[in-house]
Structure 1
Amino acid sequence: SSGGTSALRALRLLKLAKVLRAFRIMRYLSFFNTVKLIVNAVVGSWISFFWSLVMIAFLFYLVAILFVQSLADFLLREGETLDSEMRDQILLLFGSVSTSMVTLFKGTFGGRGWDDYYVVLDNTDKVASFGFLIFVVFMKISVFNIMTSLFIEMTMRLATPDTQTLARQKRHKEREQASELWNLVKKL
């Protein structure tokens, strides 16, 4: 078992060495600059992506608590006079904080049209339905634009060439100029 484990580790190290060698080769090939930029942008954006997800989940959680509380008050207030189909719809979409978060996620990210959820809220609580509209508009305009600009800024920062790339570009330009100069001298 110990021999098998060490052989497995050796294979993993060998695979890692191959991957690192491939990245080293890519660094020297100029036509891989676009691929390198994309890989750097994806890898460099993980931290921003993670914190964006945390922030969105926190917003969904807070708003879901408000909706669950508001609709629970509505259900208690209406009691037996409420239509059973409406009660089932409320419980299906906003019956708990987690289902309410999923409903908000679907309404914001296009899993289902936000107007389907709005109709349920509008039939129960006008303040909740207005709050839902404000939330959807806030998420779609503010939060998504902020996240998009954050990722674009991160990509632009990562797109600036490093010192090795600048040096390689300068050497390439100097070689081209030397070749042009040599061709001019040969013509004379």
Structure 2
Amino acid sequence: MIAIINTGCANINSVRFAFERLGVKPEVIIDPAKLAHFDRAILPGVGHAKVAMERLTALGWDAAINDYQKPLMGICLGMQLLCDSTEEGNISCLGKIPGDVSALDVKGLTAPHMGWNNLTHCVKHPLTANISRNDQVYFVHSFAHSVNDTTLAQGEYGQCFSAIVAKDNYAGMQFHPERSAKVGATLLQNFVNWTL
């Protein structure tokens, strides 16, 4: 069973509906104590990182996520909160994905980065199965994780950045797979199939 963590900082329904289209019935949870009972979990997020991180900590999700030993994936801001730190509010995050999040250097392009863009430099991994270079996904973000050893796929908008990351049982997608049509459905199915 898949848990969708509801911290009040995300559009839960779009993520839930995306899994339901795959024939998977996720459960939205608001109690951190319940997380350990699920086979895998999603941490969605939108909004400001500092506000979201303070909320995670106040509600006890930081400890529950730290103790979780099964596949857990952050989406958009949820991915950024799994990293070491972010410039958005200059705060420490959950530290599950090595690397820092900083403002995108868009080099004169429109900010935020919003819309369809290619995935590049895909590393072979269960999460990137059946995904190829130049598959397009839907982004909405102003901050991004720097490319490092945890990067499974990159995006480029003014600069290269991590689009998909993974370390141990934790993973993240900077874009919105639930809004990324067939490619997004493939990526969510890959998460459902991911075994450690």
Same fold (TM over 0.5): no
Normalized per residue, the structure richer in helix is 1
> Which of structures 1 and 2 has the bigger CA Rg?
1
Give the structure, 1 or 2, with the largest relative contact order (CA under 8 Å, sep 6 or more): 1
Normalized per residue, the structure richer in strand is 2
Q: TM-score range by the shorter chain?
A: under 0.3
